[in-house]
Structure formats: structure tokens, C-alpha cells
Amino acid sequence: MRKYEPDPDLPLVPDPTLPNQALKGRGAVSNHPGRYELGERPLEDDGWSLPAVRESGDPEDDAPPPLATRVALDSSRTIMSHNQSPDVPFDRSVNTYRGCEHGCIYCFARPTHAYLGLSPGLDFESRLFAKADAAKLLAKELRKPGYKPDVLALGAVTDVYQPIERQYRVTRGVLKVLSDFNHPVGITTKSARVLDDLDLIADMARRRLIMVSISVTTLDRDLARKLEPRASTPPRRLDAIKQLSEAGVPVAVSVAPVIPAITDHEIESIIEAGAQAGAQWVNWTLVRLPLEIKDLFVEWLVAHFPGKAKHAMSLISQCHGGIAYRSEWGKRMRGEGPYADMIRLRVETAARRHGLDKREYDLDCTRFRVPRQPDRQFDLFC
């Protein structure tokens, strides 16, 4: 297991020494400052950096040293976020980490790192924040008088089962609280690490308190390594669907996002593979490129698929009225126009073919109970 050391002195500024080129194990190609920062920080060789060295001793000038992941503790005083968006089927969510080491280049959460003074580029996937008090804060929220339960989304922004969960176990703590309160929850992830909590998840499924959506963007392992470099491989995600299904957990295959000219040719094969693994329904979205993500995505296309870059951006623009992204409700998630309609029809047709076009499962909100706190009356005499 990889070791991660919290960095309490993590400076909240982007690292200007990172090169603008594809790095092994990372998604973003650059580390430009966020939209709230003033100007660019120039890349300059100060004589301190050393070239990577092969085992043979020869310098490898075109391969920079691996970019290490650094983790700091998040000091948020609240944990539950609320929204009123008609585009999503939930009004509350919990995210156990800020930033995501999976490094998915298309991640719509990347711009949130700009709020911290960090870059939505490489910083987003290498400078992370763990919400160590998440379980305690959630329990406090659920105990408030008048709280009314509804399905809570776990992992609506960053992945709650990214690699650092193996050490910090913040997500497991949150799941334990939700189980104790009999609170319904929906998990979205692209990590087979969700199986680490199969004991809790299966137990909650028996009480109709949980459902899981596994994102499968591509079945091509080489493409996945470039697109979402530190997420579980496609076969492992399909195996996670299989094991969850066999344990009685309602699970969906999420074809998200569909990327024109890059992954859209796999729609039918992903849905078929998900059905064979035991998925019960299909979710899907079109790739979204708000704020800094557009430039990051174009850089990624040029680095990995230079021959498809213009074509891919042209198709994406056709789905958003001629621009890279439109943020209007009802349009931002799936786009509009002939190409977007074609994607929708392909998803719906494939889902019907494999019996995944209807979700016949709802979570039970009536079981919610605030557990009794331990009686500490006798502590006064200790």
C-alpha cells in the first residue's frame, strides 16, 4: 500500500516548476493558476531541478520525476452541501475529499481548486485535502431537530474512493454514520475500492438504504490510463459491479461522460458489459467543459490525440450551441442538437436491448432514526 503523509504546511499556491507536458500517472498537462489568481507564474530553470535518470545511468531529459501526492487535513466546519438543481436527482451531498488523485482530465470539479488558490490542473490531482472530521460533522447535522431525511449523494463532486481512502478511511466513517442513522445514500465512483466497504454496503442494501453507480467511461485500458490515469481499470470496475450485484446491492453502470470522437463509439459495448456484470440500469452524461476545464481538456487532446483534437471540440461545440459549454439547467448535462440527440438515442436503445432502461428500485427514507447517544451521566463521578 502506498504511504501518504499529511502536509500541514501545504502552501496554497500552484507549483510553478511543473512542466507543461504529459506526465506518467497524471491527467492534466499543465498547472496554470486558477481564475482568481493574478497572472501566470513563469517556468524558469533555477538550476535546482535534476533530470530523471534511467537505471543505466543515462539522463532521461524528456521524462520529469514523478509528481508526488501531498495530503493536508481539511478544517471545514460543515460537511453537507445542498443544491436545488433540476439536473440531479438529489438535494444534498457529502464529499469526503477536496481534489481527486484519479486525475480524470474531464472532471467538472477541477475548477473548485481555484477557490483554494490552487491550480485546477495538476494541483487538483496531486494536492489533496482529507475531511478527517466528516463522520463527526455528519452525525451532528443528522441530529439537528427537524432534520428531514432524503437520499444523500456520496461522491457527487470528487471520488470518495480515490486512492487515499485506503489510508484515511473517511468515507467508511461517513457510511458507518449513515448506517447507524438508517439514512439512505447513493454512491457514485469509478473505483473498485468501493468493495473495501462491501460489508457495510451489503448490510445497508438489505435495509433498502443504498445504491451504487459505477462509472465506466471506456473499456480500452490504454485510453483509460490517459483519460483517468489513477482510477481503477475498466475490468476492475466491471468486476466491482459484479460483486456488488451478487451481494444484493442495486448498482448502475454510468456511461459518463460520453466524449465525442474519443469514447462515443463505445456506448453500446459499455452498456452491454455493464449488463453482463449485473448492472440494473444506466446513467449517462455528455462531457462538460466549464471554466478552466476547457483549456485543460484541449491541452490533453493535443498531447494525446492531436489528430482528433479539432474534430472532438467541433462535435462538443455542436452539442452546446456552437460553444464549448453552456451552463443552463436542462442542457448542461446532456447537450442539445442532432449529435446530442444521437447519443441519447443510442444510450436509450442499448439500455432497452439489455433490459436496463428502467430503474425499479427506490431507497427507503422511512427508516431514519436518530440513535441514542451513550449515557455519560456517570462520567461526572469519575
pLDDT for the residue 5:
46
341 pLDDT higher than 90:
yes
Cell (9 digits) for 218: 471506456
Q: Please state the rounded mean pLDDT for residues 194-204.
A: 98
Residue 64: its pLDDT value, please? 54
pLDDT band at 54 (very low <50, low <70, confident <90, very high): very low
State yes or no: pLDDT of 19 exceeds 70: no
CB within 8 Å of 50: residues ≥ 6 apart: 65
How many CB atoms neighbour CB 68 within 10 A?
A: 9
**pLDDT at 66 > cutoff 80:** no
- Work out the pLDDT band at 57, boundaries 50, 70, 90: very low
Lowest mean pLDDT among 6-15, 84-93, 356-365: 6-15
What is d(CA 80, CA 340) in angstroms, rounded to the nearest whole number?
A: 33
Whole-angstrom CA distances from 221 to 27, 215, 233, 236, 260 are: 15, 14, 6, 11, 18
Q: Spell out the domain ranges in the chain.
A: 67-353
Give the tens place of pLDDT for each residue, 88-134.
Answer: 778 899 999 999 999 999 999 999 999 999 999 999 999 999 999 99
pLDDT of residue 89: 76
Q: Judge whether residue 380 has pLDDT over 70.
A: no
What angle separates helix 267-277 from helix 338-353, to the nearest 10 degrees?
A: 30
Pairwise pLDDT comparison (239 vs 20), residue with the higher score: 239
For position 375, what pLDDT does the model report? Answer: 58
Residues of the chain above pLDDT 70, percent = 85
8 A C-beta contact, residue 207 and residue 214? no
What average pLDDT does this structure show over 49-74?
A: 60
CATH number of 67-353: 3.20.20.70
pLDDT digits 0-9 by tens, 275-294? 999 999 999 999 999 999 99
Q: What is the mean pLDDT of residues 14-21?
A: 59
Question: Taking 50 as the threshold, does the pLDDT of residue 307 lie above it?
Answer: yes
**Rounded mean pLDDT of the chain?**
87
What is the pairing mode between strands 127-130 and 97-98? Answer: antiparallel
Name which residue leads in pLDDT, 250 or 51.
Answer: 250
Mean pLDDT to the nearest integer, 369-382:
67
Query: Of 27-41, 141-155, 207-221, which gets the smallest average pLDDT?
Result: 27-41
Instruction: Determine contact, residues 312/260, Cβ cutoff 8 Å.
Output: yes
